[in-house]
Amino acid sequence: MYFLRRLLFLLPLTLLIITLAFFLVRVAPGGPFDRERRPASPAVERALAARYHLDESLVSQYLRFLGLRWERQPDGSWKRAPGGLITGDLGLSLKYRNHSVSDIIRQGLPISLTLGGTAFLFALGFGIPMGFYTAVRRGGAGDWMGSLLALVFICVPGFVIGPVLILLLALKAGWFPVGLWGTASHVVLPMTALGLYFGGRVARLTREGVGQALQSEFVRTAHAKGLSPAGVLLRHALPLGVMPVVSYSGPMLADLLTGSFVVENIFQIPGIGVFMVNSSLSRDYTMVVGLVLLYALMLLVLNLAVDLAYSLLDPRVRHD
């Protein structure tokens, strides 16, 4: 019931988000066709606006975007304007005018998904063991070293790590390509640059979570029952300790899967992260709305998945 309610709620929430995006991006000064050079004549300017319906009122543009605008035909009858969200059509990109928004997403998303997915696994793969280790060795030299390292990963941004990785491992050592996409070796450096930050966060969350679990009573009970220390740690403390990581995974995955502007830019990767930022700078209205829709859907769905995972992992959490 709970999840059904959440699922039903998802639709109006998404609609609200893209409606906001639709109007906000149009509030910003300038338009998609403003350039340093003005068109040959005002007639050309008007024709360009008319071609993409930017000359209509905001309300009618919005209805057209939804696919709920009826137009009077030359013969006097009324007909729904073609396209629109209800038909799954996000329209043409206003900047890349030979591509539809869906085209660009279809082409770039798999790349961003691959990069984000591997970075996610990478972050979990080193973050959880690192956090677990530092929690167990709390106060010791290992904790100190590990926690410091995690902090460094969090503090040093991707636009520093990326170029450093390129300089050392690609330009100097020649082990990996400096950029572009296509083979497995293209994935390694951007995955690392993208995943280190999240791995650092995961390590810290795991450290806190496991640390708290170690203090809790059921762990003390388990010890008292005479379970082996390793068994206590792995069977009882770890599952509870990673709960904060699970709840962080939703937004983290949404962030990673929708592409990273910085990392895709540094490695010249043809994902959608670059479009995420550039579309709003270039006032590519249709693209902004399309990408916001994608991001919103991913975030909402993943958060739902996290809640579902929660109730499976932690017997204390119940949704009725």
Chain positions 283 to 302 lying near other proteins, rule: CB under 8 A, are 283
Q: For the range 312-317, what are the long-range contacts, defined as Cβ-Cβ under 8 Å and sequence gap of 24 or more?
A: 313/239, 313/243, 313/246, 314/240, 314/243
Secondary structure of residue 78 in the 3-state scheme: strand
Q: Which of 29, 74, 88, 226 binds other proteins (CB under 8 A)?
A: 29
Q: Which of 1, 12, 36, 141 binds other proteins (CB under 8 A)?
A: 36
Secondary structure of residue 92 in the 3-state scheme: strand
H or E element at residue 185: helix 184-215
Secondary structure of residue 242 in the 3-state scheme: coil
| Smallest distance from other proteins to CB 56, Å | 16
Look at residues 62, 42, 41 and name the one whose alpha carbon lies nearest to residue 53: 62
By the rule CB under 8 A, 31 interacts with other proteins: yes
CB neighbours of residue 244 within 10 Å: 20
Cα(51)–Cα(53) distance, integer angstroms: 6
Q: Which amino acid is at 9?
A: F
Q: Return the range that interacts with other proteins (CB under 8 A); candidates 112-120, 209-217, 268-276, 291-299.
A: 268-276
Look at residues 125, 140, 161, 114 and name the one whose alpha carbon lies nearest to residue 245: 125
Q: Return the range that interacts with other proteins (CB under 8 A); candidates 83-91, 150-158, 237-245, 275-283.
A: 275-283
Chain positions 90 to 129 lying near other proteins, rule: CB under 8 A, are 95-99, 103-104, 107-108
| Smallest distance from other proteins to CB 8, Å | 35
Q: Return the range that interacts with other proteins (CB under 8 A); candidates 176-184, 199-207, 222-230, 246-254.
A: 176-184
Q: Return the range that interacts with other proteins (CB under 8 A); candidates 27-35, 53-61, 63-71, 72-80.
A: 27-35
Indicate the residue among 128 and 266 with the shorter CB distance to other proteins: 266
CB neighbours of residue 175 within 10 Å: 11
Q: Which of 222, 274, 276, 302 binds other proteins (CB under 8 A)?
A: 274
308 HSE (CA, 13 A, CB side): 12
Chain positions 40 to 59 lying near other proteins, rule: CB under 8 A, are 40-44, 46-48, 51
Which residues have a Cβ under 8 Å from the Cβ of 302 and sit 6 or more positions away? 249, 250, 251, 253, 254
Pair 44, 33: CB distance under 8 Å: no
By the rule CB under 8 A, 220 interacts with other proteins: no
| Smallest distance from other proteins to CB 307, Å | 35
By the rule CB under 8 A, 166 interacts with other proteins: yes
Residue 199 tokens, joined:
């791995």
| Smallest distance from other proteins to CB 220, Å | 54
| Smallest distance from other proteins to CB 271, Å | 8
Q: Which residues bind other proteins (CB under 8 A)?
A: 28-31, 34-44, 46-48, 51, 95-99, 103-104, 107-108, 163, 166, 170-171, 174, 177-182, 265-268, 270-271, 274-275, 278, 281-283
